[in-house]
Amino acid sequence: MAPVISPDITVHVVWYGAWKPAHRRIIREFINSFSAPIRRSPSVSDWWKMV
Segments making up each domain of the chain, as ranges:
21-50
Contact between 3 and 9 under an 8 Å Cβ cutoff? The reply is no
Report pTM: 0.55
pLDDT tens column, 4-42: 666 777 888 899 999 999 999 888 888 877 765 665 666
Which amino acid, one-letter code, is at 46?
Answer: D
Name which of 27, 4, 31, 5 is nearest 15 in CA terms.
27
- Residue 26's SS3 state is helix
